[in-house]
Chain A
Amino acid sequence: MLLFREGSREAFEELFSRHHRAVVRFAWRMTGDPSSAEEAAQEIFLRIARAAPTYRPTAKFTTWMYTIARRATLNYLRDTNDGGEKVPILSEGEGEDGVYPVQLPGPDDRNPEQVVWEAQLTERFRTALGELPEGYRAAFVLNRGDGLSYEEVAQVLGVTVQAVKTRIFRAREMLLSRLSKDVSA
């Protein structure tokens, strides 16, 4: 990135090669459909190129990149009238007993994180993810999807680590609740 900031086109090409898959994945998870993800991902790289002169190597490059990616995606969603804060699926206190009538992959004798989801369940999950408030969705996607720590997610979103912890927990509750409703319907 420092080389690109100094005017090296080759450095940007290398940067693109390394990170374009992660950027597209992030945009896909945040927007929920391929055409929006492509538009948003293009916008992310445009903003990275424009923001290069302001880059300072004080934080991890990926943290800086996801900060731009999140802002670009949020703006894209707002521009397309799809990014407003959603009405929370849960009202306060709902689901407090911690029991959701949903059968997610992972029988008791298997690790639920290692199981490949069926296409139908993945589609339901993608829909439920898209209905999360953007702030919850971003926190959850960055942590569970892109592997950022709570501290890094906090830097990207500009919030405290405690706020990240709460957002991710709330995202989990909402997703489980929504998937349970799908099962009940």
Chain B
Amino acid sequence: MGCRDIHETISACVDGEASPGEAAAVREHLASCERCRVLERQMRAVGAGVRQVRGSVPDRFREKVFARLESEGALPKRKKVFPAAWRWAAVPLAAAAGLGLFLLTSRETVRGPVPPGPGTARVETSAPHAPSPQVDPAALSTEDREMLALLDILEDPAAFDANDDAEGMELLAPGDSADSPNPPRGGRSEAWPGIHSVS
């Protein structure tokens, strides 16, 4: 193969695009041809020259490109947090949420009487701080009875034993009842006047 015939293959070899057979032929030729060895190095150098022409990103290039894209309508609109369709849907959604909240909070008042179970605390009252006679204590839930007991104390500050405050708090701890396996400290079953635990 003559020098001229192999120059194009040398170029491909420099770019790593020659087949194994072509690369072998180029190596063999270069081993015996000084002129083509010089050319091979010049080809490498001129290839590297392209990467020396770098240029630089112009100032405000991004802004200019996006402004042009916007003006020509070639770019999708930026999505809003509440698109128009969802804005209209927000009204019925808010109404539904309000109704749900109302039903949840009013459930306490419409539910039926809860039969007392074993260990359920009952309220025994003594005049003059008894609850309204129309209210049947058996028809009240545990939470309602505790609330009524607290109201009794608020109406009669004298009934509040400030000295036993801390121990009284223990009686209201979850799971604390007459048949609790862990009775309050000191074994007291009654800390607040007007509240008696019955089994």
Chain B binding surface SS class = helix
Residues of A within 8 A of B12 (CB): 150, 165, 168-169
Interface size, A (range): 35 or more
> Would you call A104 and B45 a contact (CB within 8 A)?
yes
Q: Which residues of A are found within 8 Å of B57, using beta-carbon distances?
A: 20-21, 24
Is the pair A96, B4 in contact by a Cβ cutoff of 8 Å? Answer: yes
The contact size tier of chain B is: 35 or more
| Cβ contact of B41, chosen from A20, A108, A144, cutoff 8 A | A108
Contact A25 B55 (CB under 8 A): yes
Interface locus among A34-42, A63-71, A74-82: A34-42
- Minimum Cβ distance to chain B for residue A73 (Å): 13
Q: Which of B35, B43, B66 contacts A172 (CB 8 A)?
A: B43
Residue of A nearest to B39 (CB): A98
Interface readout for B160-188 with A: 1 if CB under 8 Å, 0 if not? Answer: 00000000000000000000000000000
User: How many contacting A-B pairs (Cβ < 8 A)?
Assistant: 151
Other-chain residue from B3, B4, B55, B65 in contact with A42 (beta carbon distance below 8 A): B65
Could you tell me if B74 and A50 are in contact, using CB atoms closer than 8 angstroms?
yes
On whether the beta carbons of B15 and A144 are closer than 8 Å, the reply is: yes
Q: Which residue of B lies closest to A112 (CB)?
A: B45
- Over the window 1-42 of chain B, the binary record of Cβ atoms lying under 8 Å from chain A Cβ atoms (1 yes, 0 no) is 001100110011001010000000000000000011011011
Q: Which 8 A-B pairs have the closest CB atoms?
A: A28-B55, A104-B45, A112-B45, A169-B11, A98-B39, A49-B74, A145-B50, A144-B50
Could you list some 14 contacts between A and B, CB below 8 A? A9-B79, A20-B65, A49-B69, A97-B35, A99-B35, A105-B48, A108-B41, A112-B44, A112-B48, A116-B52, A117-B48, A122-B53, A125-B46, A145-B50
